[in-house]
Amino acid sequence: MSKDPTRFTRRSVAIGGGITVALGLAAVGINAPHWFRAKTAYDDLLDKLIDRDAAETVGHAIIRTASFDTKQVAADLRQRIGTRTLADVAREDLVGNRLIEAKGWVLPETLGMLCVVAAQPA
Amino acid sequence: MSAFIDARTVPAGTVLEPDLAIFGGGAVGIALALALAHSPISIMLFESGGMDFDAATQALYAGSQAGVKYLPLDACRMRYLGGSTNHWGGWSRPLDPIDFEKRDWVAHSGWPFGIETLRPYLPRAQSLCELGDWIYDEATPRMAALAPLLRLGEGGVYTSWFQFSKTRDDVLPTHFGTRYADDLKRIPNLRLYLHANATALKLNGNASGLESVAIATLSGRKFTVKPRTAVLAMGAIENARLMLASNVGNQNDLVGRYFADHPIPRDTATLVSFAGDIAGYYFNAGLLSATQIRATLAPTDAFKRSRKVLGSLTTIETPVEMDDLARAAVVTAAEAIGADASNAKAFSVGCGLELEPDPERRFVLTHERDALGLPRLKLINRVSDSDFLRYRETMKELGRQLLAAGTGMIRLNYDTRAEWESALDWGDHHLGTTRMHVDPKQGVVDADSKVHGLSNLFVAGSGVFPTYSASNPTLNLIALTLRLAGHLRKLPR
């Protein structure tokens, strides 16, 4: 049976529909929900971020000035955060003066590293 | 009340012989004359300008420069009675105790005395500057009761306070010339000459003291002053120029060196307040007990010591728009620390920096001459990378404290030297060209502001400051001048 090039496959419709939804959400300023994102090997870490899109933007600003081994960063983050909340670890960074800059924005180091992972999760 | 004397009417060849001659009618010269009023000393004060701005007189200041861009030398000071108080902003704050210390992380630091030596003279200096009550950092609880302070986590930056010289009508701080003209005219032991330029210092035969000073007017009149004692009060740049041109006090090649000003790079950072608005007294001077007072952010002494930074003052300026990265950074940081940033606003940040003393930041004479025949100056200006980096450290600490308190965050706008220099402006605070040190090999004047090796020549003003603080100099240089008045009162007549 020959394919009708004008017909969408179920898969492409799903993708197209997803893009439409994403564009629509973006247009009204709502970030893509987690269930829409492709799964990554670092979701256990990235789930600590409420706004992944914002974190990605910050992460890209950090990556501009240095290169990171995402796997190693993730391993370090898992060890550093453990079972604690991100807020607790961020506060600990601030007390310990562990800071990182994202194009000049001063951030707790752990948060910055999470943003790096968010920006290059593959 | 006696009128001021127009030096252009003094017969050529006249020799004047006062007990004390003061050269320069700015804040220093005027404060000194007022302090010695009604003393048994006969005083003559010689001011280059008249009562108002005059372009030909102002042009005597012109010079050249090399290195880090500075202000034109004829635009960063004023040459008529009242001197640079004719264009000052009125910002005032006493030096901090640490400013006087020899700090192992600040080359060439250390005054011959501490704040306790200057302290007795500060109240009178405060009064002359018309700064109102002595409040400064005691303002914190009182201003916080009016509107909340910018809350910071524990750390190295705190809200500190500047007071402002009295403003009248269109925001004009005390202009010493107009403000004190009548008071000067009432001093019975003072004769004040306008349009009188000191053009040469001449030492006595064995070079142990000043013998005479040549005076010239732009109209061509020349006469001589032979004072028992003289004080150079023409500002840090012009004092050095006259000493260099006369080869006086420069036996150790120090005159003109260690020049400093306060760099004022614009828009050094972006400060975000998660709650939005910040108390108005961070942006503009507010009134407290009829005193004008404004909040700044400054490093604590403990932070200066532990992180080896210098003084600085940071001001919050105007609202700015947030770009995409700014919004992302604010959302990400606020969510991570559990803060509500839904009303966040961003503001530009300004600052004034203390420089580390540098003997190679200096004035030298050139072959070009002004209308009176005096060699013009060239400034060789330098700012070290560490001066910028030290301030950046302080700003980063402020950012840490804002996040720790959950009240905001900061973006450091400059990273490279080129970025810092592109935003650079200056405070018009001329410091350090005739620095004070007990050792003649390290200072031009001694602890009493007397030129090393000369019995009767003193230098007054912020040119004698060995280190510069981040506080504006006027209040402090007047206090130092009042201390000098105490010495002069005791001199034999």
pLDDT tens-place string over residues B209-251 = 999 999 999 999 999 999 999 999 999 999 999 999 999 999 9
Query: What average pLDDT does this structure show over B300-320?
Result: 97
Cα torsion B370, B372, B375, B376: sign:
negative
* Residue of A95, A97, A107 with shortest CB distance to B333: A107
Cα torsion B86, B87, B90, B91: sign:
negative
Give B161's pLDDT tier (boundaries 50, 70, 90).
very high
Give A19's pLDDT tier (boundaries 50, 70, 90).
very low
Query: What average pLDDT does this structure show over B442-454?
Result: 98
Residue B431 has pLDDT above 60, yes or no: yes
Query: What average pLDDT does this structure show over B4-31?
Result: 98
More confident residue, A8 or B300: B300
Query: What average pLDDT does this structure show over B417-432?
Result: 96
CB-based contacts of B457, cutoff 8 Å, min separation 6: B201, B209, B210, B229, B230, B231, B232, B248, B249, B450, B451
Say which range, A8-17, B63-72, B171-180, B413-422, has the weakest mean pLDDT: A8-17
- Backbone torsions φ then ψ of B22, nearest 5 degrees: -110, 125
Share of chain B above pLDDT 70, in %: 98
Cβ contact, residue pair A104, B411, below 8 Å: yes
Give A28's pLDDT tier (boundaries 50, 70, 90).
very low
Residue B491: per-residue pLDDT: 75
Residue B287: per-residue pLDDT: 87
Residue A14: per-residue pLDDT: 38
Check CB contact of B329 with chain A, cutoff 8 Å.
yes
Query: What average pLDDT does this structure show over B67-93?
Result: 96
More confident residue, B288 or B306: B306
Q: What is the mean pLDDT of chain B?
A: 96
Cβ contact, residue pair A107, B329, below 8 Å: yes
Residue A13: per-residue pLDDT: 35
Query: What average pLDDT does this structure show over A101-115?
Result: 97
CB-based contacts of B74, cutoff 8 Å, min separation 6: B58, B59, B60, B61, B62, B63
For residue B331, list chain A residues with Cβ-Cβ distance below 8 A.
51, 54
Give A4's pLDDT tier (boundaries 50, 70, 90).
very low
B482: its two tokens: 């009042």
Residue A17 has pLDDT above 80, yes or no: no
Rounded CA separation B481/B31 (Å): 7
Which CATH homologous superfamily contains domain B1-130+175-260+430-493? FAD/NAD(P)-binding domain (3.50.50.60)
Residue B294 has pLDDT above 50, yes or no: yes
Residue A25 has pLDDT above 90, yes or no: no
Check CB contact of A103 with chain B, cutoff 8 Å.
yes
Residue B171: per-residue pLDDT: 53
- Backbone torsions φ then ψ of B158, nearest 5 degrees: -140, 165
For residue A101, list chain B residues with Cβ-Cβ distance below 8 A.
412
DSSP B354: P
For residue B415, list chain A residues with Cβ-Cβ distance below 8 A.
104
Check CB contact of A77 with chain B, cutoff 8 Å.
no
Residue A15 has pLDDT above 60, yes or no: no
Residue A88: per-residue pLDDT: 96
Check CB contact of A80 with chain B, cutoff 8 Å.
no
3-state SS, one letter per residue, for chain A:
CCCCCCCCCHHHHHHHHHHHHHHHHHHCCCCCCHHHCCCCCCHHHHCCCCCHHHHHHHHHHHHCCCCCCHHHHHHHHHHHHCCCCHHHHHHHHHHCCCEEEECCEEEEHHHHHHHHHHHCCC
**B362-396: per-residue pLDDT in tens?**
999 999 999 999 999 999 999 999 999 999 999 99
**B166-220: per-residue pLDDT in tens?**
866 555 699 999 999 999 999 999 999 999 999 999 999 999 999 999 999 999 9
For residue B400, list chain A residues with Cβ-Cβ distance below 8 A.
94, 97, 99, 106
Give A29's pLDDT tier (boundaries 50, 70, 90).
very low
Cβ contact, residue pair B153, A94, below 8 Å: yes
More confident residue, B1 or A90: A90
Cβ contact, residue pair A106, B332, below 8 Å: no
Give B2's pLDDT tier (boundaries 50, 70, 90).
confident
Half-sphere exposure of B471 (CA within 13 A, CB side): 23
Q: What is the mean pLDDT of chain A?
A: 79
Check CB contact of A101 with chain B, cutoff 8 Å.
yes
B477: its two tokens: 């240089």
More confident residue, B136 or B172: B136
Residue B38: per-residue pLDDT: 87
Query: What average pLDDT does this structure show over B117-125?
Result: 98
Query: What average pLDDT does this structure show over A32-47?
Result: 78
Cβ contact, residue pair A87, B403, below 8 Å: no
